[in-house]
Amino acid sequence: MKKTYSFSNIRFAELRQIVNIEKRKGTTQFDSWFRADYTILAADIDFLQQLIDFHYLRLPSYSEEDLKMKFLSIILNKVQFANDTINDFYNASLFAEVNGVELNGFADYMVAKGIDEPEQPYFFLQEFKPLKAGKDVDDQLFAELIAAIAINKTNIMRGCYIIGQNWRFVIMEKDENNNYTAFVSKQFDSLELDDLKQIYKNLQIVKLHYCQ
């Protein structure tokens, strides 16, 4: 019987038993993503500031569901990933076999080719946890990115994990020797306008450049 791991429970030590993986602080790896040309409209800046003003004192006490529905979904709907061939999916099923091991479970949020169900993953957001979350949410995202690389037969996948108001973006790369590196960005505070503008820009760039 094949060994199986669920995204919701996997830990980094277990990932290292499946693939050769390391995590690093991302620096230049994010340049083409974070510094891509995108002009945020004045109306969008007003929208983001209003979002901060309303949630600034409320967000730290939100449950996971409150955080998702009252804050994150508002931003994601504003970005609007969906088009004629691509959709975004909450709690979507994901499965892949990597080095003879099954990785499976449900991705909190996935942008993928497909309308009724995801067919080809492009981008992930993982774990809309409140600030006092206990699980290693980065490890769960890493596992999903590795699974998506296997599904797409590619060597790179992007995502982000969220704990309360704090966001970190991730680029997972696979080299020609099947070694994986998870590059992790600096932390962005979504209740600070400059950071939220960068978060919004990063998501728009994903839609424009990487969901193809």
What's the number of domains the chain is made of?
Answer: 1
DSSP state at residue 12: H
pLDDT at 148 over 90: yes
Could you tell me the pTM of the whole model?
0.95
* pLDDT attached to residue 131: 59
15 — pLDDT class (breaks 50, 70, 90): very high
Burial of residue 197 (CB within 10 Å: 0-12, 13-18, 19+) is middle
Instruction: Report the first-to-last Cα separation within the chain, whole angstroms.
Output: 36
Residues contacting residue 116 through CB under 8 Å, at least 6 positions apart: none
* Interval 158-189: pLDDT, tens: 999 999 999 999 999 999 999 999 999 999 99
Q: Which residue range forms the structural domain that includes residue 67?
A: 4-210
What gap in Å lies between CA 87 and CA 111, rounded to an integer? Answer: 6
Provide DSSP, 68-106. IIIIIHHHHHHH----SSEEEEEEEEEEEEETTEEEEEE
* pLDDT attached to residue 27: 87
